Structure 1
Amino acid sequence: MAISFDSIPASLRTPGAYIEFNNELAGAAGIMHKIVAVGQRLPTGTQVEGEPVRVTDPSQAVSLFGRGSMLALMIAAALGANANTELWAIALDDDAAGQAATTTIEVWAPPTAAGTLMLYIGGSRVKVGIASGDDAAAVATSINAAINADLDLPLTATVSTDTVTLTARHKGDVFNALDIRTNYYAEVMPAGLALTIGTMAGGTSNPDLGPAIDALGDEWFNWIINPYTDTSNLVALETELGDRWGPMRQIGCRAFSAFSGTHAVTGTFGSGRNNEHITCLGTGASPTPTYSAAAINCAVAALSLSIDPARPLQTLTLPGMLAPARHEIWTRQERNLLLYDGISTYTVDRDGTCRLERQITMYQTNSASLADASYLDICTPETLERIRFEQRLLQSQKYPRYKLADDGTAFGVGQAVITPKIWRGELLALYRVLEQRGWVEDYTNYDRLLIVERDSDDRNRLNWRDTPNLVNQARVFAGKQQFIV
């Protein structure tokens, strides 16, 4: 009997037609891409710490993680940018040893006319009604009441005479970057009113990412929204992502972070990291909190990368992200420098729309500490991940229970036997498919350099080395016009 059956025994004597089904040639499979957001919850949330939960609606996140919590705000930002990619979340509690960031708003000149004070906290607008006869204390009381009335804000307020003290709902240094300002859209301040708004400071000790990393287990999440950029958490995340990327686990993913600071501070931060699986958006003076910016960036990138991992993300809009004031927007030269510091950049349209400019990883140097651009763009590890998945799928779907023989073996047609030559043909055929998808190029050299052989020590093992030539992205168009007059 030449054909290898899976279920029909060779010892049948009872008459009948026995037909089994085998899906090895069906080839119908795909990745259900998943994002996981990691962030802090409030005690008012119902979700326990360190347990992944799927989230489909911002109101669900409020119930799970508490209204005004970091994680609820991250989920709202992510779903606002992309409601199609499956989204999970892992809640963390505040570090008991941490401190909450604080600042003050001091009213030092009362209004001379009635009006409305437009206060922006982390990009969220708070309207404060001002009466013409209000003194400084009355204005401060109104500001305090308006802030505490908005339960979705990331901070709370207390008032003493003419000063309002703002305190982040969570502990951690991530909230030191929380932006507080007035009149973002150039609204008019009530006549005579003058305020002094301090900078958020004093927040210490972000939660440890350890419980979230443990909670990931061996589940394949394609992208992680990471709100923390402190060294300890980044090192832990880099270690985990490297392990997930490796050949023993093969469940690689990219983590999206964001960093707020001056150009110099941002460049210094970026140049201190070096990892091909973390991408960090430099937000500059954007009012949008870094944890929300990371969520927006990840959601936007995930939607595009899930469709085509090789297609660049440039020009994609970042819905919900507010631009810096016009005079604070980084120039092209400044952004170009950051792209050499491992920091991803964005541009701002005239109407304030923020668009991705170049999504790079934080990988900058090789093991010899020499400049290395091999993993510069996020499309590189994303495309490699998908190629590996397709090769694994091909083996597991088409050759799950095959025997291995040398080339030239005269086995019967229909036998479940694979040889190096057969597998080489499968890899070449797959490369053609990947070429049609626009993921790779140069089939001729791939064919020439492809090596497939049976292991000389372990005869049950088939080895291969291939050299996929990843398609590149059209990023820079340079022309020279030699005009004639």
Structure 2
Amino acid sequence: MPISFANIPANIKVPLYWVEVDPSMAGLPTINLRALLTGVMVGGTAEPDIAVPIGSQAQADAQFGEGSELSRMFRAFFANNFANEVWGLPLAEPTGAAAASADITITNAPTEAGTIHLYVSGDYVPVNVLTTDTPTSIAAAIADAVNGNTTLPVMATAAAATVTLTSTFKSVNANEINVSLNYYGSTGGQQTPVGLGITLPATGFLTGGTGTPSFTTAITNLGDEPFEYVAMPYTDSNSLFEWDQEYGFTDQGRWGWQRELFGHVISAKRGTYSALLVFGDTLNSGVESIMGFEVASPSPSFEWASAYTAKTQRAFINDPARPLQALSLNQIKAAPIHQRFDFVELNSLASNGIAIQKIGSDGQPMIAREQTTYQMNLYGQPDDAYELMTTLATLAKLLRNQKHAITSKFPRHKLANDGTKFGPGQAIVTPGIIKAELINQYQQDMYDGLVEDLVNFKRNLQVERDPNDPNRVNVLYPPDLINQLRIFAVLAQFRLQYDRGIDTQIIGNSTGPYNAASGAA
């Protein structure tokens, strides 16, 4: 039979017209590149360690508890990405964990009426005060204002002239909750009321939070569900190792040959320049990207991580090969100008495995370089193969395109050597046919802006029948991934006046076009 049918029997006797539909030449590769946010839940209806889809902030609050770490992560996510699918992976509070806390003390009543411009975890909590108020009444008003905003990750109690803030969730990340005044300063119309005495935590943060959640069960429960972008807000060695093993290149990893799920793990870390530099030197993962940010930023690391993930997903779904630089992290508050990393510090951090951010003209942080923590090969030698998230994002797109083409067009084919004479329409494939298909797919990928240099790709592409297994084809696939415009360097070799030499005279006297190569008209 010259044409290979998959379903219509060869010995059918019943007339007349029978049709078999074959989609193998029509379909285009489609995949839903989900984001996954993981963090501690408090209350809520979700079951710990089980991922659930979330479509709105109201759903996140109901599932994970309003003001919880994970609920706050969704607030940051939706501020940066409203269009793409996102799930939540709730974690129970670690056994024996402690909440973080801090005190705000009122020492003097104001001599002029005004507003206390309080910020908790980067959120604005205004409190109006009068000259008739006492320290005790002001403390009570602050507690009422804090508790009136149920989205905050803290609860407040007032005793005499002291307000105690306690984190809603228990973990080491509760120490990321910042307490500050007058973020926008006097130029932004914010200053402490005259005469008011107010004392904030010495460090500017809640302290005393302990406990790191276990990810073992949560990761196991993910199974082989595809999640391309994971916001993982814990940067201790154990947590990073567990997620690197899940998403890495081992046999059992999502980038390994058995699973072929791919994906990225995204986080953020607060620290001084020196602390982040030392931290970066300890890391080496091609699937993890950790954004470093300044100590003085009012926004917590778990919200930085979520915003970074949201913008990564939104951009890479559109085009995985475009750089993420200049994408704003909305509603994330930057450190004050005098406390931001400078050029040298940012450059050094990026050179040591830390993703970096800069501040845009609108005052919002924006991604400057989506660095992964990968820095060395297996022998500990400097290597930049997986240095940027765009590399693996582009490669994942190519491999998915290729897998779709092969599995759609050759799902139940026979395998023959090149040169075999067989009838047209038969479900037979040869190494040459496969090679032609791979070249055709590469041309399409090049048209889509994912790869370049078709000539050298064809020269280096190898497709061969396995000498020890007649049913197997081996392929050496050598794509040249397209690069990104990241540096634009200019040598401004100026002159005050060009010499009035012979060339200038020729140009000035010529009536014809000037030949730049010969210097003649």
Moved over 4 A (4+): none
Relative to structure 2, which stretch is displaced further, 414-423 or 92-101?
A: 92-101
Shift of 1:196: 2.0
Q: How does 1:375-394 map to 2 (within 5 A)?
A: 375-394=386-405
Q: Letter of the aligned partner of 2:367 in structure 1?
A: L
Q: How many Å apart are 1:190 and its aligned residue?
A: 0.9
After superposition, residues 286-325 of structure 1 pair within 5 angstroms as 286-325=297-336
User: In the TM superposition, what is the alpha-carbon distance from 1:408 to its structure 2 partner?
Assistant: 1.1
Question: Is 2:332 aligned against 1:326?
Answer: no
The residue identity in structure 2 corresponding to 1:196 is T
The equivalent residue for 1:120 is 119
Letter in 2 for 1:205: G
Q: Provide the residue aligned with 1:363 in structure 2.
A: 374
Q: Is the 2:29–2:400 contact (alpha carbons within 8 Å) kept by the matching residues of 1?
A: no
Q: In the TM superposition, what are the counterparts of 1:189-204 in structure 2 within 5 Å?
A: 189-198=192-201, 199=203, 200-204=206-210
Query: What is the match of residue 510 of structure 2?
Result: none
Q: Distance in 2 between matches of 1:2 and 1:481?
A: 68
Cα deviation digits, residues 441-471 of structure 1 (max 9, x gap): 1111111111111111111111100211111
- State the partner residue of 1:238: 244
Structure 2 CA distance, aligned partners of 1:369 and 1:111? Answer: 61
Q: Tell me what 2:515 maps to.
A: none
Q: Distance in 2 between matches of 1:337 and 1:393?
A: 41
Q: Return the alpha-carbon distance in structure 1 between the equivalents of residues 256 and 484 of structure 2.
A: 25
Q: Provide Cα deviations, 1:105-161, integer angstroms capped at 9, x if missing partner.
A: 122233112211011011101111212122322222222222122111101122232
Comparing 328-337 with 421-430, greater Cα deviation is found at 328-337
The answer to whether 1:273 aligns with 2:283 is yes
Matches of 2:208 and 2:58 in 1, distance apart? Answer: 31
Q: Quote the offset at 1:483 in angstroms.
A: 1.6
Q: Corresponding residue for 1:74?
A: 73
Name the CA distance, whole Å, in 1 between partners of 2:467 and 2:314.
44
CA–CA distance in structure 2, aligned partners of residues 444 and 214 of structure 1: 44
C-alpha contact (below 8 Å) 1:113/1:133 kept by paired residues? no
Match of 1:42 in 2: 42
| Cα pair 1:66 1:72 within 8 Å, conserved | yes
> Which stretch of structure 1 is more off in the superposition, 100-109 or 31-40?
100-109
Q: Who is 2:293 aligned against? A: 283
Tell me what 1:205 maps to: 211
State the alpha-carbon separation in 1 of the partners of residues 428 and 298 from structure 2: 62
| Number of the residue aligned with 1:345 | 356
1:248 aligns with 2:258: yes
Equivalent in the alignment of 2:172: 173
SS of 2:276 mapped into structure 1? helix
Q: CA deviation digits over 1:23-66, x for unaligned, max 9?
A: 111132311111111111112x0111122211111011111111
Contact kept? 1:34, 1:86, Cα under 8 Å: yes
Identity of paired residues, percent?
A: 36
1:219 to 208, 216, 225: 225
Alignment length (residue pairs): 484
Helix, strand or coil at the partner of 2:254 = helix
Partner Cα separation in structure 2 for residue 313 and residue 329 of structure 1: 20
User: Which amino acid is the alignment partner of residue 217 of structure 1?
Assistant: G
- Structure 1 residue 406 and structure 2 residue 406: aligned? no
Match for 2:159: what amino acid? Answer: S
Deviation at 1:163, TM superposition (A): 2.0
TM-superposed CA distance for 1:283, in Å, is: 2.2
1:370 and 1:99 map into 2 onto residues whose CA distance is 41
For 1:246 and 1:47, the matched residues in 2 are separated by: 31
Q: 1:422 to 1:350 in 2, by over 3 A?
A: closer
SS of the residue corresponding to residue 238 of structure 1 reads helix
Question: How far apart in 2 are the matches of 1:359 and 1:396?
Answer: 33
1:415 is the counterpart of 2:426:
yes
**TM-score between both structures, scaled by the size of structure 2:** 0.91
CA contact (8 A) 2:266 2:288 kept: yes
- Cα 1:194–1:126 change in 2 (3 A) is same
Q: Deviations over 1:146-195 (max 9, x none)?
A: 21221111011222322222211111111212211001121021111122
2:397 match: secondary structure: helix
RMSD: 1.2
Q: Which secondary structure does the structure 2 equivalent of 1:279 belong to?
A: strand
SS in structure 2 at match of 1:244? coil
Q: State whether structure 2 residue 481 is matched by structure 1 residue 470.
A: yes
Q: Distance in 2 between matches of 1:29 and 1:468?
A: 19
For 2:270, the equivalent position in structure 1 comes to 260
Describe the SS at the equivalent of 2:9. Answer: coil
Q: Provide the rounded CA distance (Å) in 1 between the counterparts of 2:244 and 2:87.
A: 20
Unaligned runs of 5+ residues in structure 1 are none
- More moved, 396-405 vs 188-197: 188-197
232-241 vs 25-34, which deviates more? Answer: 25-34
CA contact (8 A) 1:36 1:90 kept: yes
For 1:110 and 1:96, how far apart are their aligned partners in 2? 42
Q: Is 1:437–2:411 an aligned residue pair?
A: no
Post-superposition Cα deviations, 1:246-291, rounded to whole Å, max 9, x if no partner, equal 1110001101101112122222222211111111111212211111
> Match for 2:235 among 220, 224, 229?
229
Once residues 279 and 132 of structure 2 are traced to their aligned partners in structure 1, the CA distance between those partners, rounded to angstroms, is: 48
Q: Is the 8 A contact 2:29 2:401 kept in 1?
A: no
The residue that corresponds to 2:507 in the other structure is none
Q: Report if the CA contact (8 A) 1:103-1:166 is conserved.
A: yes
Displacement of 1:15 after TM fit?
Answer: 2.3
- Once residues 362 and 19 of structure 2 are traced to their aligned partners in structure 1, the CA distance between those partners, rounded to angstroms, is 65
Counterpart CA distance in 1 for 2:109 and 2:348 is: 44
Say if 2:450 and 2:482, in contact at 8 Å, map to a contact too.
yes
Task: Look up the equivalent residue of 2:26 and give its one-letter code.
Answer: A
Structure 1 contact 175–203 (Cα < 8 Å) conserved: yes
State the partner residue of 1:99.
98
Unaligned runs of 5+ in 2: 497-521
Helix, strand or coil: the match of 2:290?
strand
